[in-house]
């Protein structure tokens, strides 16, 4: 009798487990079908400085993913995918490719907002979820275009939460996941099991070059705060914060500045006339572009070196946050003034927002 009872218990346990797995798989399939049409491939092009003076400039193609979040054609993606793109477009699951315009980007949190010319008929936007409700261990899934292979699904769990602490501003938060993420997934959405967007894929840590189960995703609440709840802003520049000996070597008139290496066509920086780098160089083992403007001040805010906490040794991004908030608060018609150091002279560049 005891043997029969144990066998009955085991059979019931196996049946229950099978039902649970089947139910979970069905829920995942239903969620994928509901949201997959909102996920897009993001393609970009930018002009790249030649490797040497005797070579012509080249056109560099970029690849990423994104997700449609509104009926009027707004798409969330990663900032590093589009920050210095001269041209951008998105491709939907039906193969339709639509021109996109960058309207907001925050490089610190690595999220950006695109505006499409139109939305394909019958495509519904995905719903942004509340990332604060997610807990470590929750099941999640990612849809994107790893290596350009669109509509690829990977499944995993929320592995951790990480904040960029800043005492004077709300924190930027990243979610860690073991869902497979590869090149081309950047900017793609991470969903909860109900199909709500709870993050935008930012980066992965890897030694092999492929997925190793250690990926990081900007939370949906961070994206909402920076790009949807205030006026989005796109600088369109990439570069390097220079301080110390390098600042002295470039004869900067102040202790720190932002060396501009690239400027995206159509961005507010290109309208200001900010000049990008033209000369490739390696300084202290870092490959950079020299010859571009060094930004000293934006409106009345000086570029400062990051403050270092004497106890923890961590650096503060308070200066960056202050500048971003100032730019986002500019109203249409307001004047933007950027002070730059160019060829030994301090210049003021202005444009109307």
Instruction: Please say if 110 is a catalytic residue.
Output: yes
Bridge partners of residue 155, in order along the sequence = 141
Spot the catalytic one: 110, 192, 238, 293. 110
Bridge-based pairing of strands 256-263 and 237-243 is: antiparallel
- Rounded Cα–Cα distance for residues 46 and 44 (Å): 7
Within 164-301, residue ranges assigned H as helices are 220-223, 244-249, 268-272
How many H-runs (helices) and E-runs (strands) does the chain carry? 6, 23
Spot the catalytic one: 105, 109, 154, 186. 186
Bridge partners of residue 257, in order along the sequence = 242
Instruction: Please say if 162 is a catalytic residue.
Output: no
- Residue for token digits 């805010």? 301
- Rounded Cα–Cα distance for residues 303 and 301 (Å): 7
Q: Is 95 left (phi over 0), alpha (psi -120 to 50) or beta?
A: left
SS (H, E, C) 166-188: CCCCCCEEEEEECCCCCCCCCCC
- Rounded Cα–Cα distance for residues 303 and 282 (Å): 23
Q: Residue 284: CB partners within 8 Å, gap ≥ 6?
A: none
Spot the catalytic one: 38, 65, 80, 105. 80
- Closest to 233 measured CA to CA, from 90, 126, 89, 332: 332
- Rounded Cα–Cα distance for residues 228 and 242 (Å): 31
Which helix (H) or strand (E) segment holds residue 328: the answer is helix 318-328
Instruction: Please say if 157 is a catalytic residue.
Output: no
b/e 181-209 (16+ beta carbons within 10 angstroms → b): bbbbbbbbbbbbeebbbbbbbbbbeeeee
Active-site residue numbers?
A: 80, 110, 186
């Amino acid at each position: 009798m005891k043997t029969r009872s144990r066998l009955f218990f085991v059979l019931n346990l196996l049946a229950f487990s099978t039902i649970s797995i089947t139910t979970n798989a069905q829920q995942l399939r239903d969620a994928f079908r509901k949201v997959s049409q909102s996920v897009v491939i993001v393609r970009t092009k930018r002009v790249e400085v030649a490797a040497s003076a005797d070579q012509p400039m080249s056109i560099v193609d970029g690849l990423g993913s994104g997700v449609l979040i509104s009926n009027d054609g707004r798409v969330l993606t990663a900032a590093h995918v589009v920050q210095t793109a001269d041209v951008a477009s998105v491709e939907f699951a039906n193969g339709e490719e639509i021109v996109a315009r960058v309207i907001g980007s925050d490089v610190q949190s690595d999220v950006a907002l695109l505006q499409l010319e139109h939305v394909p008929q019958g495509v519904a936007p995905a719903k942004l979820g509340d990332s604060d409700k997610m807990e470590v261990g929750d099941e999640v899934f990612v849809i994107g275009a790893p290596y350009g292979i669109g509509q690829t699904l990977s499944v995993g769990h929320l592995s951790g939460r990480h904040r960029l602490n800043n005492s004077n501003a709300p924190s930027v938060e990243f979610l860690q996941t073991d869902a497979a993420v590869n090149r081309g997934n950047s900017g793609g959405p991470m969903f909860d099991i109900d199909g709500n967007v709870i993050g935008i894929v930012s980066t992965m840590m890897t030694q092999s070059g492929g997925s190793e189960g250690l990926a990081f995703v900007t939370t949906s609440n961070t994206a909402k705060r920076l790009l949807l709840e205030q006026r989005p802003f796109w600088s369109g520049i990439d570069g390097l914060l220079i301080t110390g000996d390098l600042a002295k070597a470039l004869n900067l008139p102040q202790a720190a500045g932002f060396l501009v290496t690239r400027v995206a066509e159509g961005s507010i920086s290109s309208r200001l006339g900010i000049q990008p780098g033209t000369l490739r160089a390696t300084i202290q083992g870092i490959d950079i572009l020299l010859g571009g403007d060094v930004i000293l001040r934006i409106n009345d805010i000086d570029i400062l070196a990051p403050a270092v906490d004497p106890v923890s040794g961590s650096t503060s991004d308070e200066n960056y946050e202050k500048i971003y908030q100032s730019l986002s608060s500019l109203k249409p018609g307001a004047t933007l003034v950027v002070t730059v150091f160019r060829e030994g002279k301090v210049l003021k560049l202005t444009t109307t927002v």
